[in-house]
Amino acid sequence: MMHDSPKRAGHCVRLTIEDAPALSSLESRCFALPWTEQAFAEAFAGKTFHAFGIRETASPLSPRELAGYIAVYHTPDEVEILNIAVREDRRRHGYGRLLMATALQDAKETGILRGVLEVRISNAPAIHLYESFGFRQAGKRRGYYQDTGEDALIYTLDMGQTRTNP
């Protein structure tokens, strides 16, 4: 499965364990508590972990470097969005939307009926993205994030009504 970004020369590809170093590098650029290369390798070893990444065709990035990625877990009837990250210098190019659309379409094609995720209460751009795909707030986890004690909002999605290309 490969999808192209409408605003930039990038395409979305399924990632594998060989991409663990690039994923860890991107995580370190985007998050205060990043996943390690070992954590990604262990996740890929399981059957329920899936990841998609943005590779740019005409870019100063190295061929293995990622402009963005999304990681999810699949269960028989649910996809959990674990992380979505886009390099700061590549934001506002439609990559987050492309990653989300790709992950949701992949889940839908396997018969998954429900999506779930958590997001920092202060992350307005991510909340806007999720809501544009039809996710709705279903709850809150107080003091959830270890680094700041910030609350997490829980969002769910009825996959039967997913807008894969809002």
> Which residues belong to the active site?
118, 130
Rounded CA-CA distance 141/119 in Å is 10
Q: Cα separations (Å) of 41 from 17, 18, 24, 46, 144?
A: 6, 8, 10, 9, 25
Q: How far apart are CA 96 and CA 111, in angstroms?
A: 23
Contact, 54 vs 95, CB < 8 A? Answer: yes
Q: What is the 3-state secondary structure (H, E, C) of 97-115?
A: HHHHHHHHHHHHHCCCCEE
Overall residue count recorded for the chain in this entry: 166
Alpha helices in 31-119 (DSSP H): 37-45, 95-109
